[in-house]
Amino acid sequence: MKKLAIAALAAAVLCGCSDSGADKVKMITEATFPPYEFLRGHEIVGIDVEICRAVAQKLGREFSCETVDFDSVIPAVISGKADLAAAGITITEDRKKNVDFSVPYVKTGIVVIYKKSVGFTGAEQLKGKKIGVQGGTTSETYVLNELKQEPERSRSPAESVAALKSGRVEFVIADIDPAKNCVKGEPDLAISDFITSEEYAIAIKKGQPELLKAINETIAEIKADGRLAKWIADYTAEADKLKDK
């Protein structure tokens, strides 16, 4: 508990977000998800951070960003603690019951991370196996709903991959981009093709049509003028380099 409080305080201080600025646009994320959000030293950076900063700019407001566990990202906008939830969040029917989603900004999906010595032949192979996933994600839902079993939950894709390397789990399921980042520099690990088709969007508290409109316009603009493509290229390269260190 104490550890969590210290981490939250550190995150708040490091991204310069005191609660005083009522008119700041507050983004909530989960910064273990490169290249969408990750830590550059103590600063939260990534594609999602740039998108939300562009939304704040469009609204003519200041911007701040905070990181929490993935499970707490959507609850933070429902409770009004934050304005924009952006954390590589997949649009799902279940989540749509609780939040409004922007238009999608990326098409993606989840993949299986496996040991080359074991190989991966298809979803059938996963049945009854110990599968590591980040808690609260569509990877967890996949194991629960499609494989009809309990996953081994962790707090980040990297933590699940550490469990795979040490033999505590037999496979990991994660979104493709953090999965690629995790297997970089790991000659014994590989990733499968997509096992789902998903889309990322920004989630906000329901009933804010003007904010939703501003977000959707921003997404259309950054797609059209090449900013989104540039952020994807730049942050993928930066996250890969961080892995090399």
Q: State the residues that interact with ligand GLN by CB under 6 A.
A: 30, 33, 70, 87-90, 134, 137-138, 175
Nearest CB to ligand GLN, comparing residues 30 and 66: 30
The helix or strand, by DSSP H or E, that contains position 153, with its residue range, turns out to be strand 152-154
In angstroms, give the least distance from the CB of 236 to ligand GLN: 16
In angstroms, give the least distance from the CB of 204 to ligand GLN: 15
Q: Among candidates 193, 189, 192, which has minimal Cα distance to 115?
A: 189
Half-sphere exposure of 67 (CA within 13 A, CB side): 26
Nearest CB to ligand GLN, comparing residues 33 and 114: 33
Q: Among candidates 123, 51, 63, 142, which has minimal Cα distance to 88?
A: 51
Half-sphere exposure of 73 (CA within 13 A, CB side): 28
Spatial neighbors of 24 by CB under 8 A, at least 6 apart, are 17, 56, 61, 62, 63, 64
Nearest CB to ligand GLN, comparing residues 64 and 137: 137
- The span from the CA of 191 to the CA of 186, in Å, is 11
Nearest CB to ligand GLN, comparing residues 121 and 197: 197
Amino acid letter for position 33: F
In angstroms, give the least distance from the CB of 2 to ligand GLN: 25
In angstroms, give the least distance from the CB of 20 to ligand GLN: 28
In angstroms, give the least distance from the CB of 240 to ligand GLN: 18
* 3-state helix vs strand vs coil in the chain, percent to 5: 40, 20, 35
In angstroms, give the least distance from the CB of 107 to ligand GLN: 12
In angstroms, give the least distance from the CB of 19 to ligand GLN: 24
Sheet containing strand 203-205, strands side by side: 63-67, 25-29, 84-85, 203-205, 99-101
Nearest CB to ligand GLN, comparing residues 59 and 103: 103
Angle between helix 176-183 and helix 157-165 axes, rounded to 10 deg: 40
Spatial neighbors of 169 by CB under 8 A, at least 6 apart, are 130, 131, 132, 152, 160, 163
Nearest CB to ligand GLN, comparing residues 57 and 98: 98
Nearest CB to ligand GLN, comparing residues 146 and 188: 146
